[in-house]
Amino acid sequence: MFSLKNRSDDLEILIAVVDCGGFSAAADVLDIQVAKVSRAVSKIEKQLGISILNRTTRRIEQTDEGRQFIESVRAGLAKIQQAEEDIISRGELPKGRLRVDAASPFVLHQLVPLIGEFKLAYPDIDLELSSNEGFVDLLEKKTDLAIRIGKLTDSTLHARPLGASELHIVASPEYLAKRGVPQTVSQLNQHELIGFSGAKVLNHWPLKGFDSLQPSVTASNGETVRQLVLAGNGIACLSGFMIKQDISQGKAVTVLDSFLLSDSHRRQVNAVYYKSSAVARRITAFIDFIQPKLKL
């Protein structure tokens, strides 16, 4: 029989091993010794009388029984953590550190304008913002919440849809006055095109008849691409959350609108976090606050 003497911290260690993909990685994230991680998992397996994990020299894999048990543990820990927070914080606003990660253009154009108002509403939440252009490992980077643009692939994460941000093919009025406005997709070959040097999927423009991008200049950062466009260096494909205000102010102009295809994957904006997160109230407070105020 599985004993109640198995404290929640042993179960949390087990979850960390699964999420991190190994004992050493879990020990690093939890800042404890590998031996303690191994003891916790062995203790649970001994009391259950089953093998939860199959160990190899390179990786660990969940057994069928282990997979069912771990999913139940996730749900149970989430309820325990929520119950603890509800009791501790009853009648109080959420408090403590909240670490949020997003691509730098999203941080600059969407989050930064909301931080002052958020801090007034939740003065006891200590925000820590980080910017990464790629998808970060929440455990490895010790991140509580990430804003991700595009299709989600990690099924271990809980996701809250924040909306959709349309894609626009844009250039500055100065560039178009000098080089002319492309009337067809094929005419892009006659223009300076600005692309991304990191995630190549960002160079797949959703245009009818558009094959491939041969950029004259690339950048790893979406904000850099935006600045290159505004400075008259060429044409780029950017999300509305970073360029829509420039369009409304006349600093950028959209082109080839009639050729645009709906790219549902790149339009998606989600907030993601681990289902058993111990900072659930802070995460919920942040998402509930920013969602209606985002200008995607």
pLDDT in tens, 185-237: 999 999 999 999 877 778 889 898 887 788 999 998 899 999 999 999 999 99
Cβ atoms of 143 and 101 closer than 8 Å: yes
Which candidate, 221, 239, 228, places its Cα nearest to that of 131?
221
Condensed to tens digits (0 to 9), the pLDDT of residues 142-182 reads: 788 889 888 777 666 788 899 989 999 999 999 999 999 99
Q: Is residue 158 within 8 Å of 273, Cβ to Cβ?
A: yes
Dig out the tokens for 133 from the structure.
């252009």
- Judged against a pLDDT cut of 50, whether residue 269 lies above it is answered with yes
- pTM here is 0.66
8 A C-beta contact, residue 185 and residue 196 = no
* pLDDT computed for residue 264 by the predictor: 58
Q: What letter does residue 189 receive in the DSSP assignment?
A: G
Q: What is the mean pLDDT of the chain?
A: 84
Domains of the chain: 8-88 (1.10.10.10), 96-163+267-293 (3.40.190.10), 167-263 (3.40.190.10)
Q: What is the pLDDT of residue 82?
A: 67
pLDDT confidence tier of residue 277, bands split at 50, 70 and 90:
low
Give the whole-angstrom CA distance, residue 266 versus residue 206: 10
**Which region, left, alpha or beta, applies to residue 142 given φ > 0 means left and ψ of -120 to 50 means alpha?**
left
